[in-house]
A = this chain, B = another copy of it.
Amino acid sequence: MLKIGLLGAGRIGQVHAAAISAHPDSVLAAVSDVYVPAAEALATPYDAAVKSSDEIIADSAIDAVLVATSTDTHSDLIEAATRAGKAVLCEKPVDLSLARARVCLANAEQTGQPVMVGFNRRFDPNFALIKAGLAAGEIGKAELLSITSFDPAPPPVSYIKVSGGLFRDMMIHDFDMANFIMGEAPVSISATGSCVVDPEIGAAGDIDTAIVTLTYADGKLAVIKNSRRAGYGYDQRLEVLGADGLLQANNMLESSVVKSTIDGVVSAKPTYFFLERYMPAYRAEWAAFVEAMQANNPMPVTLEDGVQALAMAEAAKQSLDTGKPVALADV
């Protein structure tokens, strides 16, 4: 039974606590949060201890830590936990600073401890089927990937201000998804973006709508579309055109009910909330982490993957700022 320390008791920490606890081979041993009552509220139903992050990392009875704190603490905590001999599952992004993330990667690698980055969408069964279908040659060699990723509604502007911006906060999932599906990183990234959803987001220095194009060494192409608002739900689709056909992952719908009247044929909307859509993915992500730890296998999503996606976000930001494509090798 793996004893897990959870750093961060916010919304995403709560999701992970449930997954840790539900897994037959892991137990939530301790929880920390800068706001102690939050840690207490989360720890109590799981019979977990409430400690500081430092205490958890120093606790030799803890086998692994799950880092679900604010982004600015990720690198430090990864370094501290790996130095302390613990396996780590850290939420995305690794850091807002690519340079810092790279230092973190180097330091963590020196410890030899396994670090996984929480790109939960890789564990969505639909996207995993696309990956498997490609690997099985169902549509031949991939040529053109298209990712549609719209949030149902924008987060508060206060969050936007500290989020690192759309590329680092939101599209980073899609950058990693492109790497996952394509099996390699692109060579060049070209971004366009604008603020059409909410001028407050623009005033906060961010964009809310973006199209980013990726080109690959062998000529493959990919495009990612992001919007902070698709009022009808959480629109998460992906399709890849290959030499022999097309693989598509469509949205999960709220129900299978269809109503036909004189006003039209009405189906259910895509699930609205990210947890509704990706809860199975969070559970599968945790199971994959546990399995890799137990088998001493490489993590299914590495810290390097996390840094790679961050580099792509950085390249996209540079491209947006300069109006020119940016070589990934140059960031």
Distance in Å from the Cβ of A3 to the closest Cβ of chain B?
20
Pick out which of these stretches binds chain B: A49-57, A60-68, A176-184, A266-274. Answer: A266-274
Q: Is A209 an interface residue (CB 8 A)?
A: yes
Pick out which of these stretches binds chain B: A27-35, A113-121, A123-131, A166-174. Answer: A123-131
A125, A213, A233, A324: most-surrounded residue (chain B CB, <10 A) = A213
Q: Is A245 an interface residue (CB 8 A)?
A: yes
Distance in Å from the Cβ of A48 to the closest Cβ of chain B?
17
Q: How many A residues touch the partner, as a band?
A: 35 or more
Pick out which of these stretches binds chain B: A102-110, A187-195, A286-294, A297-305. Answer: A187-195
Query: Which of B193, B213, B269 contacts A260, CB < 8 Å?
Result: B269
Residue of B nearest to A266 (CB): B264
- What are the residues of chain B within 8 A of A220 when measuring CB–CB? 194, 196
- What are the residues of chain B within 8 A of A227 when measuring CB–CB? 143-144, 241
Distance in Å from the Cβ of A204 to the closest Cβ of chain B?
15
A261 to B138, CA, bound (A): 9
Known contacts A133-B259, A141-B196, A245-B262; 4 additional CB pairs below 8 A are A139-B259, A231-B261, A232-B260, A250-B256
